[in-house]
């Protein structure tokens, strides 16, 4: 739990090998020569649509987008990124991509049931799908090739354990998107790792109310000495709320941005759970190109994990530079 450096280096090596194979391997040869078997071929230009449940300008999803677009440029694959936080609208974006006969789909599933028909339609149409971020448990059942992300329950458990090791005694887990299955899994995991966890529902679209609700929670119950937020923006609200009532509670959060890096350095945030979302954008583009060129399937029926990686004062100086350039 305390060191993920070797895991990161291994993933970089694997990613480099996959990238090399995608660029110079199957595409460099005629796939039908000498095989004795007919290999399906795509018609028209190979395009990939990435459709997330993020909102425009969200720091987290901007990094996912950067990863997907960087991979597309390096592999010579056009990548079209769209997002909508409304599950119904996200399903329509998927349907539009299917109607346009894209070569591959990358989809996040914060509300799996809402997008299930659209994903299954894509699979029936012969469009390979890789799911990312949320919906790990449903990915294979919906017909996706693989899922790329972190196990939310495991990540939450590590966060809860880290708080417990820090000597904290009462944990509040703040959920900012109603109906997001991944966030509930994070809080479930935090409760397992810590021993128990109270929950607070807030609305990320109303930062003033978020701050007021967190302030009210720690003021009403002074025994709360650990607050786990599931979003970097909400972390800043939590830090402000705690300062306003002079609570002794400490904040930790999921996800990194420049403000969280600064807050870890100053001690306002104890640690961040980094799911390395750049990889959630980058790796599916590589995987889909490998599938198209060589029918490779990555993961062996299991998700490809991008985290969690816990970032605290001991590692934040190293990682902060990558946050600034938009790749962490």
What are the pLDDT digits (tens) for 124-137? Answer: 999 999 999 999 99
- Say what the pTM is: 0.80
Q: How far apart are CA 87 and CA 93, in angstroms?
A: 10
Q: Sketch the domain layout of the chain as residue ranges.
A: 5-21+46-150+276-308, 152-274
**122 φ/ψ angles, rounded to the nearest 5 degrees:** -65, -45
Give Cα 322 to chain centroid, integer Å: 17
Q: How far apart are CA 96 and CA 118, in angstroms?
A: 10
The answer to whether 116 and 134 have CB atoms below 8 angstroms apart is no
Looking at residue 45, its pLDDT comes to 80
The answer to whether 98 and 118 have CB atoms below 8 angstroms apart is yes
For residue 63, what are its two tokens?
A: 């990094």
Domains 5-21+46-150+276-308 and 152-274 share a fold: yes
Residue 269 bridge partners (DSSP): 251
pLDDT value at 31 more than 60: no
Burial class (CB in 10 A: 0-12, 13-18, 19+), 254: buried
The answer to whether 148 and 283 have CB atoms below 8 angstroms apart is yes
Task: State how far the alpha carbon of 161 is from the alpha carbons of 1, 192, 193, in Å.
Answer: 9, 8, 4
Task: State how far the alpha carbon of 294 is from the alpha carbons of 22, 82, 280, 287, 303, in Å.
Answer: 9, 27, 21, 10, 20
- Model confidence at 44, pLDDT cuts 50, 70, 90, reads low
Residue with tokens 């990863």: 67
Q: CATH top-level class for 5-21+46-150+276-308?
A: alpha beta
In this predicted model, what pLDDT tens digit does every residue of 245-264 receive, in sequence order?
A: 999 999 999 999 999 999 99
The mean pLDDT value for 44-60 works out to: 88
Residue 310 bridge partners (DSSP): 273
Q: How far apart are CA 264 and CA 266, in angstroms?
A: 5
In this predicted model, what pLDDT tens digit does every residue of 287-323 receive, in sequence order?
A: 999 999 999 999 998 999 999 999 999 999 999 999 9
In this predicted model, what pLDDT tens digit does every residue of 186-207 receive, in sequence order?
A: 999 999 999 999 999 999 999 9
The answer to whether 184 and 230 have CB atoms below 8 angstroms apart is no
Looking at residue 43, its pLDDT comes to 53
Q: How far apart are CA 254 and CA 176, in angstroms?
A: 12
The mean pLDDT value for 157-176 works out to: 98
Q: Largest alpha-carbon pair distance within the chain?
A: 73
**147 φ/ψ angles, rounded to the nearest 5 degrees:** -125, 140
Q: How far apart are CA 299 and CA 322, in angstroms?
A: 27
Q: CATH top-level class for 152-274?
A: alpha beta
Of 256, 255, 250, residue with least CA distance to 269:
250
**Sign of the alpha-carbon dihedral angle for 217, 218, 220, 222:** positive
Residue 53: HSE in the Cβ half-sphere, 13 Å Cα cutoff: 22
- Say how many residues make up the chain: 328
In this predicted model, what pLDDT tens digit does every residue of 65-92 receive, in sequence order?
A: 999 999 999 999 999 999 999 999 999 9
Of 101, 83, 111, residue with least CA distance to 181:
111
């Amino acid at each position: 739990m305390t060191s993920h450096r070797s895991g990161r280096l291994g993933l970089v090596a694997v990613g480099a090998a996959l990238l090399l194979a995608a660029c110079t391997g199957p595409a460099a040869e005629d796939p039908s020569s000498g095989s004795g078997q007919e290999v399906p071929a795509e018609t028209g230009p190979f395009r990939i649509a990435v459709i997330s449940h993020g909102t425009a300008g969200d720091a987290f999803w901007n990094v996912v987008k950067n990863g997907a677009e960087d991979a597309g440029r390096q592999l010579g694959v056009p990548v079209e990124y769209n997002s909508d936080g409304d599950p119904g609208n996200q399903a329509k974006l998927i349907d539009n991509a299917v109607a346009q006969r894209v070569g591959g789909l990358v989809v996040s599933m914060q509300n799996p049931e809402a997008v299930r028909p659209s994903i299954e339609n894509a699979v029936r149409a012969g469009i390979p799908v890789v799911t990312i971020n949320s919906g790990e448990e449903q990915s294979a059942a919906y017909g996706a090739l693989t899922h790329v992300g972190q196990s939310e329950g495991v990540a939450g458990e590590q966060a809860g354990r880290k708080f417990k090791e820090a000597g904290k005694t009462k944990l509040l887990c703040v959920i900012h998107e109603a109906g997001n299955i991944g966030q509930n899994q994070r809080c479930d995991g935090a409760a397992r790792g810590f021993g128990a966890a109270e929950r607070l529902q807030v609305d990320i679209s109303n930062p003033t109310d978020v701050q007021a609700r967190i302030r009210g929670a720690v003021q009403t119950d002074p025994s709360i000495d650990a607050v786990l937020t599931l979003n970097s923006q909400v972390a800043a609200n939590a830090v402000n709320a705690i300062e306003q009532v002079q609570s002794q509670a400490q904040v930790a959060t999921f996800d990194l941005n420049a403000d969280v890096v600064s807050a870890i350095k100053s001690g306002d945030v104890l640690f961040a759970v980094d799911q390395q979302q750049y990889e959630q954008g980058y790796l599916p583009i590589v995987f889909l190109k490998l599938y198209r060129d060589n029918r490779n399937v990555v993961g062996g029926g299991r998700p490809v994990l991008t985290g969690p990686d816990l970032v605290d004062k001991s590692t934040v100086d190293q990682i902060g530079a990558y946050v600034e350039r938009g790749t962490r």
